[in-house]
Amino acid sequence: MIKRSIAAGCVLFGAVFLYLGYAKTQSVTGGMSRTLSGGYSAETMVYLIGGGVLLMTGLVMLLGKKKKRK
């Protein structure tokens, strides 16, 4: 039960972080940063990468094989 709650939290927070990262890439400051430096800011990358890792971790925990108890 606790494992499912942690997995659901990971999926939820991962999706939120991905959304925030995407919103930052579409903002005016994100566009200027990309134009001037050739890439996204470190904060934007943390949101995108961290959100992806959290989302994938939560999905693996939810959909992974379950151990059989004796």
Per-residue 3-state assignment (H helix, E strand, C coil) for 13-70: HHHHHHHHHHHHHHCHHHHHHHHHHCCCCHHHHHHHHHHHHHHHHHHHHHHCCCCCCC
Tens-digit pLDDT profile for residues 44-68: 899 999 999 999 999 999 988 776 6
Tell me the per-residue pLDDT of 4-55, one tens digit each, with 9 for 90 and over: 899 999 999 999 999 999 998 888 877 777 778 878 888 889 999 999 999 9
CA distance 56 to 35: 30
